[in-house]
């Protein structure tokens, strides 16, 4: 067990070596009066020896007094946590409002696009399908496909406002969800539904035919959200 000389700040392998140091070291060749006090640290003891009047003469004889430096714990910077962005499953298309408004004006109807994507405050909502084209957004995939069963939810709000949520489809190859490029069927379906809600007698818009393949619900975000009619002619 090692012994320490508090005055000199030195460690010794045994108590005998410490006692020999106290006998032989010039730093201990002086008389001083003990105070019979205990200190919690070497720093507190050194300050006492330096400032107390009873030790003033004795302290002058000290040639060295080393206080062991305090070890600092290494600090590690914590990286700020970043939440992953949620994967988009649908979009709204306010840029197509002009096409919808042109069709509504034929029957003297005027609606404004409501940009808040809100399910709770709508007066009416209706699920149907439109047509469009997809290009996979995965840079490592080059898949392109067309669909006549793109799920869409049309919603009407108070004060003659509306919007429509168009759902994405996932690529068959890599399962990446992609946003569609819409054709004229979007404006026709939205305008038709708004006219129906407004009490206008109107013929259903022309549809170019059935889909060439089966509707794959596992690739349709509308199906996953419970808003896909799966019936192309379900106007």
pLDDT given for residue 40 in this prediction: 63
How much is the pLDDT for 193?
97
148 contacts 129 by C-beta, under 8 angstroms: yes
Q: How far is CA 124 from CA 16, 17, 58, 127, 129, in A?
A: 96, 95, 96, 11, 17
pLDDT along the chain (235 residues), means of 10: 68 77 64 59 69 60 52 69 77 97 96 96 95 95 93 97 97 94 96 97 73 78 86 42
Joined together, the tokens standing for residue 151 give: 């799920």
Q: What is the CA radius of gyration of the chain?
A: 42
3-state helix, strand, coil in the chain (%, to 5): 25, 20, 50
* Confidence (pLDDT) at 87: 77
Say what the pTM is: 0.61
- Per DSSP bridges, beta strands 112-113 and 169-170 are unpaired
Helices (H), the chain: 15-24, 42-51, 56-60, 97-105, 185-197, 221-224
Length of the chain counted residue by residue: 235
In 3D, which of 163, 186, 167 has the Cα closest to residue 116? Answer: 163
pLDDT at 212: 63
pLDDT in tens, 4-27: 776 676 777 777 877 777 777 766
Q: How many CB atoms lie within 10 A of CB 150?
A: 26
The tokens describing 103, both together, are 């069709």
Report how far residue 76's alpha carbon sits from residue 80's, in angstroms, rounded to the nearest whole number: 12
């Amino acid at each position: 067990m090692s012994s320490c000389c508090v005055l000199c700040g030195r460690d010794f392998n045994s108590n005998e070596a410490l006692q020999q140091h106290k006998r032989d070291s010039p730093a201990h060749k002086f008389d001083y009066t003990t105070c019979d006090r205990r200190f919690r640290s070497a720093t507190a003891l050194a300050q006492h020896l330096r400032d107390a009047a009873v030790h003033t003469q004795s302290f002058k004889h000290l040639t060295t007094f080393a206080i062991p430096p305090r070890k600092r714990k290494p600090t590690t910077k914590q990286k700020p946590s970043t939440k992953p962005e949620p994967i988009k499953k649908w979009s709204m298309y306010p840029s197509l409002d002009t096409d919808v408004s042109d069709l509504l004006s034929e029957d003297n109807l005027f609606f404004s696009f409501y940009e808040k994507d809100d399910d709770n405050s709508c007066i009416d909502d209706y699920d149907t399908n439109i047509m469009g084209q997809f290009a996979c957004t995965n840079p490592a995939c080059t898949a392109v496909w067309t669909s006549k069963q793109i799920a869409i939810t049309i919603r009407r709000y108070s004060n003659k406002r509306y919007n429509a949520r168009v759902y994405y489809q996932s690529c068959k190859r890599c399962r990446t969800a992609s946003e569609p490029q819409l054709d004229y069927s979007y404006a026709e379906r939205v305008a038709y539904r708004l006219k129906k809600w407004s009490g206008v007698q109107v013929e259903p818009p022309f549809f170019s035919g059935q889909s060439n393949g089966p509707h794959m619900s596992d690739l349709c975000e509308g199906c996953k959200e419970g808003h896909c009619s799966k019936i192309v002619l379900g106007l």
